[in-house]
């Protein structure tokens, strides 16, 4: 099967320090895609890996003609690596999936069938069983989706991550958006294109360690909220209004105490009030800072990622340490 002809299906796989799981991924993904009996390409986007991932990808590419390796100059983050893959994917349909095999590749066939039968532009992979995740992971994920659906809207599918199928129409619409900090699990529903869902049970990570620790989960939540809603700014406004009302009430109480000749002993109440109002001001400043930071990032106009190597494009520099 020639990879020079535009493929019917592209599979975008962000990769960062995944030398252990890559052989297992190829062993499971390739038979699934070969069985579809359609032309395809697999875009492995190396997000600036610092282990043996580039060398492993090069070895895999020699044995798997449909594998295309795109390497970023530095670590740009999962969502930006996904952006790089979407921008370079050539297929009529594009599937995004993580390399850790927690999302089963076998579901891709169901996604493709549903998209073609229903003429859908988006098919979300929805996790109906997350028993392989830790209780803390399930709790934080549930909290994230409840918060996002409340702030952004119910159009966001519950328990749908970045495992999805997009039509060429959807991909072109996404690539035209001027997003500097994309969160695709919110951007894709925002497009309002005809969509469907395929349910599956989430599996254990095949090898290696998770690349999404708590800090990155919190960062994703902040990007999701500040990128799609002004609700935090309104919360700051309401908190400020409540603080003004509280000050009037306390002022009236102090005036009444003065008129009645009552002296309030100690400084505890004053100390608590000052600390509370100070914390409230810092919280509001922090919320404003998040939005100002997004404006600053957008105004810089810097690319979110820099591609240093693409195995499908002649003239790109081969990454150092990878044999020719």
pLDDT at 138: 79
Identify the band that residue 308 occupies on the pLDDT scale cut at 50, 70 and 90.
confident
- Torsion from C-alpha of 56, 49, 205, 106, nearest 10 degrees: -60
Structure tokens at 192: 């309002």
Integer Cα distance of 11 and 125 in angstroms = 14
Closest CA to 42 of 107, 104, 103, 105: 105
In Å, the largest CA–CA distance within the chain is: 93
Q: Which residue has the tokens 């409540």?
A: 242
Of residues 318 and 24, which shows the higher confidence score?
24
pLDDT at 23: 94
Answer whether residue 276 shows pLDDT above 80. Answer: no
Pinpoint the alpha helices (H) of the chain.
22-35, 53-63, 78-88, 107-118, 135-151, 168-175, 184-190, 214-228, 231-259, 268-300
- Asked if residues 196 and 114 have their Cβ atoms less than 8 Å apart, the reply is yes
- Tell me the pTM: 0.74
From residue 36, how far is each of 8, 107, 110, 174 by CA, in Å?
Answer: 11, 11, 10, 26
The upper half-sphere exposure of residue 9, i.e. CA atoms within 13 Å in the direction of its Cβ, equals 24
Answer whether residue 323 shows pLDDT above 50. Answer: no
In tens, the pLDDT along 227-264 reads: 666 666 666 667 766 766 776 676 677 667 666 766 55
Which CATH number is 9-214+303-310's, of 3.40.830.10, 3.90.550.10, 1.10.443.10, 3.40.640.10?
Answer: 3.90.550.10
**Please, which residues bridge with residue 123 across strands?**
165, 196
Can you list the pairs that 227-234 forms with residues at least 24 positions away whose Cβ atoms lie under 8 Å? 227/179, 227/181, 227/183, 227/186, 227/294, 228/151, 228/152, 228/183, 228/186, 228/190, 229/151, 229/152, 231/151, 232/287, 232/290, 232/291, 233/287, 233/288, 233/291
Q: Where are the domains of the chain?
A: 9-214+303-310, 231-300
- Asked if residues 184 and 117 have their Cβ atoms less than 8 Å apart, the reply is no
Mean pLDDT, all residues of the chain: 81
- Asked if residues 27 and 213 have their Cβ atoms less than 8 Å apart, the reply is no
Indicate the DSSP class of residue 19. T
Of residues 304 and 122, which shows the higher confidence score?
122
């Amino acid at each position: 099967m020639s990879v020079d002809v535009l493929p019917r299906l592209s599979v975008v796989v962000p990769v960062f320090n995944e030398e252990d799981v890559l052989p297992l991924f190829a062993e499971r993904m390739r038979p699934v895609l070969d069985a579809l009996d359609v032309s395809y390409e697999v875009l492995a986007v190396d997000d600036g890996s610092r282990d043996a991932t580039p060398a492993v990808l090069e070895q895999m590419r020699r044995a798997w003609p449909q594998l295309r390796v795109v390497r970023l100059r530095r670590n740009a983050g999962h969502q930006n690596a996904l952006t790089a893959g979407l921008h370079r994917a050539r297929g009529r349909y594009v599937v995004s999936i993580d390399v850790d095999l927690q999302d089963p590749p076998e579901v891709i066939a169901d996604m493709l069938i549903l998209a073609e039968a229903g003429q859908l532009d988006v098919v979300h992979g929805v996790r109906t069983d997350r028993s392989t995740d830790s209780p803390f992971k399930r709790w934080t994920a549930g909290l994230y989706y409840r918060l996002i659906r409340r702030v952004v809207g119910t159009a966001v599918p519950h328990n749908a991550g970045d495992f999805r199928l997009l039509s060429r129409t959807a991909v072109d619409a996404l690539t035209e958006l001027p997003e500097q900090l994309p969160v695709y699990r919110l951007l894709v529903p925002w497009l309002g294109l005809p969509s469907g869902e395929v349910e599956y049970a989430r599996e254990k990570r095949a090898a290696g360690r998770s690349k999404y620790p708590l800090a990155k989960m919190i960062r994703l939540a902040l990007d999701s909220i500040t990128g799609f809603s002004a609700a935090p700014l309104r919360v700051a406004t309401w908190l400020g209004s409540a603080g003004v009302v509280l000050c009037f009430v306390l002022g009236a109480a102090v005036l009444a105490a003065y008129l009645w000749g009552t002296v309030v002993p100690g400084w505890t109440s004053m100390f608590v009030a000052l600390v509370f109002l100070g914390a409230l001001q810092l919280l509001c400043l922090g919320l404003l800072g998040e939005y100002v930071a997004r404006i600053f990032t957008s105004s810089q106009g810097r690319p979110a990622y820099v591609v240093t190597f693409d195995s499908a494009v002649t003239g790109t520099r081969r990454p150092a340490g990878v044999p020719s």
